[in-house]
Amino acid sequence: MEVVVAKNIGFCFGVTRAVNETLKEVDENTYLLGELVHNKETMGKINGKVVENIEEIPDKSKVIIRAHGVSKEVLKRASEKKLNVVDLTCPKVAKVHKLVSERKNNFIIIIGKKTHPEVIGTIGYANEYIVIEDESDLDELTKVLANNKKKISIFSQTTFSSLKFASLVNKIKRITHSYVEIIPCICPVTEERQKEAINIANSVDLVIVVGGKDSSNTAKLYDIVSDIKEAVWIENSNELNLEKIKNHSKVGIISGTSTSMETVNEVISRLK
């Protein structure tokens, strides 16, 4: 069996930085505001306590902010609670926060998953906004914009599918009828992985997608490749069904940005 491994694989640089810095900073009294990565193996190596809400953290404690970033309201609460903040927001996400903040008087459209922590953080920098996840949100957008006089700026979640983003922007432009500013903020890492995933899916018999089941960028990669070729989504090498795979002569391996190289290498070894 030939195994084709993607070149863009393992943690992205934002996650690498967050994991490395956390491993230096963390002890059993450190709090993590949300899971650092959607990856059980990596989380198993980190001692801190994971909480979902800043109010659960005792005053003056140390808190790690993950690569997804948080809203300015959360940062304000951290300051009021005198928390020792280790802010590991990915620089790409921090740039989106800055660009949204600079457009206080605009109506902001964010294309992304409504429940994704990065999107929740980013909307915290906008005054008037709507999150568009898919076509089903366009009726709501039409209603919201009926009396809008503001300039409109469109952003996206950094890990959103670039194809889906382009398609939604075209549909939004038909609704707005006016000038809209489009701010490209899909992370190049995500775009490269999506492009490479398409190329790999077109050249193999089966694609193995490695990544946490809660990871939204892994879910997107899986959706993209499974539209083209047979695909399986596993979290780690233990989930490989070798019986199912052994009849394929050429297998591709890709991963989400929160999957470590260690996990990928275990999958490759087991396949071999």
Give least dist CB 72 to ligand SF4, A. Answer: 19
* Nearest distance from C-beta of residue 248 to ligand SF4, angstroms: 29
Site for ligand SF4, rule CB under 6 A: 12-15, 67, 90, 92-93, 158-159, 187, 189-190, 257
Rg (CA), the chain: 20
CB of 58 to ligand SF4, least distance (A): 28
Compute the CA torsion angle 61, 31, 12, 187 (nearest 10 deg).
Answer: -70
Measured from each CB, the residue nearest to ligand SF4 is: 14
Instruction: Please confirm, yes or no, whether 56 is among the known catalytic residues.
Output: no
CB nearer ligand SF4, residue 13 or residue 71: 13
DSSP 208: E
**Of 25, 52, 55, 118, which is the active-site residue?**
118
**12's tokens:** 């992205």
The answer to whether the Cα torsion of 155, 52, 84, 37 is positive or negative is negative
* Closer residue to ligand SF4 (CB): 19 or 132: 19
Using the Cα atoms of residue 89, residue 95, residue 100 and residue 101 in order, give the sign of their dihedral.
positive
Q: At closest approach, how far in Å is the CB of 18 from ligand SF4?
A: 7
**Residue with smaller CB distance to ligand SF4, 128 or 184:** 184
Candidates 45, 6, 34, 11; CA nearest to 217 is: 11
In the block, which residue shows the tokens 């002890």? 27
Nearer to ligand SF4, 89 or 251 (CB): 89
Measured distance CA(101)–CA(123) in Å, rounded: 10
Distance of CA 68 to the CA centre of its chain: 7
Give the list of residues 6+ apart from residue 253 with CB closer than 8 angstroms, or none: 3, 4, 5, 6, 9, 207, 208, 210, 264, 267, 268, 271
Taking the complex as a whole, the smallest distance from the CB of residue 190 to ligand SF4 amounts, in Å, to 5
* 1 SS3 class: coil
Return the bridge partners of 156, or none. 111
Q: Which of 74/204 has CB closer to ligand SF4?
A: 74
Q: How far is the CB of 215 from ligand SF4 (least distance, A)?
A: 11
Nearer of residues 152 and 263 to ligand SF4, judged by Cβ: 263
The residues that are catalytic are 118
